[in-house]
Amino acid sequence: MKPAFRWTPAHLQLRIAVVGANGVTGVELCSLLLAAGHAPERLVCTARTARTLALGASTLPVQAHSDDVVAQCDLAFLCTPSGVSRELAPRLVARGVRVIDLSSALRMDPQIPLVVPEVNGDLLAAQPRLIANPNCTSAIALLPLAVIERLYGLAEVIVVSYQAASGAGAPGLQALRAELADLGSGGRGERAADSPFAAALALNVIPAIAAVDAHGHSGEEQKIVEELRKILRRPDLIVEASTARVPVERCHSVAVHLLTQREVHLPELYAALEAAEGLVLVRDPHGPRPRECAGADPVSVGRVRAGNRGPRSLSFFAVGDQIRKGAALNALQIAGRLEPAP
């Protein structure tokens, strides 16, 4: 059992559904549940297509989705597209199932808590029946930002993200690998035919993620802006975001430049970051890096330094595994903080 999950013997008795179990996040969540000690027979995995998941020494059958099957569970994780979650989540809640939705469908609904447990886990004390999981980039940026907000107050935040191919799910990872394989065999690494990206990603950077609106902002950028404000409970916070896709398999990175409300004291901040739950402070001036952070639970933060705009100016670089803390792990941590009684 991993203590970070807060998975108690009572949690182990829950009958849990993972909807969308065939996707990258669904597979990761099933692996984490097994690592937390959950018995395979108490997991119900559904997806559009039936198959068998081989996860280490365990195998999990995935059945074609049925509301009736999932409605027999105590808790359901929805690793589903937004359109599916928007309709499915309220149906399951109405049938008595507690739901943690990992899509973007319900995040900005003011009636639904959007939770990063280390930041605003107090919202779970009300034992909500429906909880939204944040955007993966938002979750990674928020862990260090919450420490800074608590110490000095945030006045302005500028986030630039460098997001891995697997942020687009299995198709994104497959596209990058196909392009790299083509390069390795003497080809030009042209955009894979079924790629979810706007251009070839291998040896490239694509400076927008998701569709771009008439004002030049992408959907991913708007999510970061809105979610940081909601989770920090700072609707007045000035947030700017720019997102890019980079040829990394796993882990999103963020470069953050900010202004605080009060003067920053770096030794105090270093100590607070080192003590913060879910964070690792990296002293390597060339780190943290996605390759070394892949598969890790904590978010790594480094290059914490004074900015050039006075004593309230600060910069840092953070890296987190977007499939774990950015998605599956965060959802499991939410469940671990809820009373396990159905």
Residues belonging to the active site:
136, 252
Single-letter residue type at 212: V
Contact 256, 141 (CB under 8 A): yes
Phi, psi for 184 (deg, rounded to 5):
-65, -25
* DSSP track, 143-166: HHHHHHHHHH-EEEEEEEEEE-GG
**168 three-class SS:** helix
CB contact set of 123 (below 8 Å; sequence gap of 6+): 113, 115
> Based on the number of CB atoms within 10 Å of its own CB, is 233 exposed (0-12), middle (13-18) or buried (19 or more)?
exposed
Single-letter residue type at 36: A
Dihedral of alpha carbons 182, 188, 193, 198, sign: positive
CB contact set of 122 (below 8 Å; sequence gap of 6+): none
The Cβ-side half-sphere exposure at 10, using a 13 Å CA radius, reads 9
User: Token digits for 273?
Assistant: 């970051």
Contact 144, 150 (CB under 8 A): no
Q: How far apart are CA 148 and CA 306, in angstroms?
A: 13
Dihedral of alpha carbons 329, 334, 339, 341, sign: negative
In the chain, where do the E strands start and end?
Answer: 16-19, 43-47, 51-55, 58-64, 75-78, 98-101, 130-132, 154-163, 238-245, 252-260, 279-281, 299-306, 313-320
The Cβ-side half-sphere exposure at 248, using a 13 Å CA radius, reads 22
